[in-house]
Amino acid sequence: MTHALAFTEEDLRRLAGARSFERGVGYVSVVSRLEIGGETTTATVDGTDAYEIELTEDEDGRLSGWCDCPYGREGNFCKHCVAVGLAVLEQAGSAPQQRSAAASRTRLLDDWLESRTREELAALMREQLAVDRGLRRRLELRAATAGDDSAIVRERILSLLDTRPFARHGYVEYADAHAYGQQAAEAVAALRALTAGGRAADAVEVAREALRTLGRTYGEIDDSDGLIGDVATGLAEAHLEACLSSRPDPVEAAEWLVRHLLDEENGITDIDLFDYREVLGEPGMTRAREMVVAAWRINPKAWTEKYLMERLLKADGGSVDALVAVHAADLDPNGHTHLVIARELEGAGRKAEALEWAERGLREAESERGPDDELVAFVCDRYTRAGRLADVVTVRRDLLGVRPSLTAYQHLRTAARTAGTWEGAERAGALGVLRASDLPVKGRWYGGSVLVDALMDDADVEAAWQAAADGYADQQQWLALADRIRDEQPADALTVYLRWIEPLRTETGDRTYERVAELLLSARACHRTLGTEAEFAAYLAALRADQKRKRKLIATLDQHGL
């Protein structure tokens, strides 16, 4: 059944967004090989490269698009899709006829193929295979998986994972990763076909080698879209399916699995040892445990060994003490491992020991890297629950002294207010820490002090202004202060705005010009409040005269009504 177009130009704009839609308008003239089918329209658009586009209308008339440009491969309705959609709309009147013709061609081809003899179809296929290497490779693999030659199957599957045909300078770039991923995905289908065809034992061996091959080459691929990661997951699943079907020797399978998991190059496959419980049985799981424990004892600080030990203990219902011992063998210098231990102990109902470990983490954390923010929050939360508000203040005060920041100041303020000790000595001491953590520097552009931020956060604008005058503020902080006082102290704010306009006179660039316009608008608001608009008009005229050669700046000022 043929039908008219169900989508409109507005649908294209909605799917693409205003920016991509406007850019797509400029590509309509380079749309070629446009074929309007029953539900699918295909075309080529000549952009940076020649891109292939496919637009599809579902049964409800909803439109979707696919393009092999980088933006389109991310799942976006790109400018090339817009161009093809617009080209189709230009032919809306003839769309029913084109769709009818496409349906007729399909029926004609089907009837013709069905009328050919077996010999004629084989000759036709051989003719096509001579010019389509991709099709030849896929059919060779299907033939091999249906036959008995394991060597050919292995060679064909591993060739699908070979990155060399797609690598430029030894690396598969983003533009080529999609094509490589599509080819590599055929290896997963072939492995599953082997298992389904009663050759699961062969599939196990080839899958192992395929996993090893992809693990070695993954670092040479730009997998920003995660396509190759999906292939790796598929290979792992195909391997497990083959193992469940063939039932390999459990001890040998366990040894392969643990060696595979301990190999850092195989992290992409994301295999979980415990998915193989049924395959390994008790003999295999026992051997796996032996190997993991031995590996961890040799290298207790290695991430993989530590993770596998933790996984073993949790899966087997091991003691909390054993799990604590695994974590305690490699304590992070920021105290995060102490937090992990504390949570495990607390989950086991050992709250006092949990708090002791967390407190130890605070004491042992290196000043440059710790303590971990989550660890601090954990301790403070437990102190608060116990009514130890003064201890919360102490922890927050110590942290401010180690790492002065606005966040640390805010946390201390909250804790001290809860304890009723903020106003007075506590606040004065905190501000003293911030003042001592920086040196006053007049006229600084960047790197303003936390002191000014803290005073503004306290809404103590007068003190913040004084700190800025003492040299603790950068440009952004001065301007933030000026914005705060503009209504009540327009003269002081005006001084700030004019001060920061002056150095911009010697700079160029769109961002600079926008900044000048923003500052002039703020200055004008001050003059209006002061009733000195004539003075601003004279200043602006002088500035425009001085900067008249910067045509983009003058145009920017005009756009802002200056």
Amino acid at 555: A
Q: What's the mean pLDDT in 100-111?
A: 84
DSSP helix/strand/coil, 233: helix
The domain spans of the chain are: 9-115, 131-248, 486-559
pLDDT band at residue 113 under the 50/70/90 scheme: confident
Per-residue pLDDT at 458 = 92
Encoded tokens for 474: 């950068």
pLDDT, tens digit, 9 for 90 and up, residues 471-489: 898 888 988 899 888 888 9
pLDDT at 409 over 90: yes
**DSSP label at 469?**
I
For range 201-225, the mean pLDDT: 90
Helix (H, G, I), strand (E, B) or coil at 168: strand
- pLDDT value of position 391: 95
Instruction: Give the mean model confidence (pLDDT) for residues 315-323.
Output: 79
Task: Report the candidate in 472, 465, 466, 467 with the shortest Cα–Cα distance to residue 443.
Answer: 472
In three-state secondary structure terms, 437 is coil
Does residue 3 surpass a pLDDT of 70?
Answer: no
For the stretch 410-430, pLDDT in tens is: 999 999 999 999 988 999 999
pLDDT band for 4, please (50, 70, 90 cuts). low
Alpha carbon distance 290, 187 (integer Å): 33
Report the number of secondary-structure helices (H) and strands (E) in the chain.
28, 4
* pLDDT of 359 above 60: yes
Predicted confidence at residue 100, as pLDDT, reads: 82
Q: What is the DSSP letter of 221?
A: B
E strand map for 113-162: none
Tokens 């590599």: give the residue: 184
Residues 6+ apart with CB under 8 A from 524: 533, 536, 540, 562
- Rounded to two decimals, what is the model's pTM? 0.57
Residues in the chain, how many?
562
* 357/88 Cα distance (integer angstroms): 68
Detail the DSSP E strand segments found in 386-439: none
DSSP line for 475-512: HHHHHHHHHHHTTT-HHHHHHHHHHHHGGGGG--SHHH
pLDDT of residue 125: 85
Pairwise CA distance, residues 309 & 292, whole Å: 6
How far is Cα 403 from Cα 434, in angstroms, rounded to an integer?
10
Per residue in 117-164, pLDDT (tens digit) is 998 888 888 888 787 776 777 677 666 666 666 788 788 888 888 888
Please tell me the predicted confidence (pLDDT) of residue 345.
92
* Phi, psi for residue 442 in degrees, rounded to 5: -70, 135
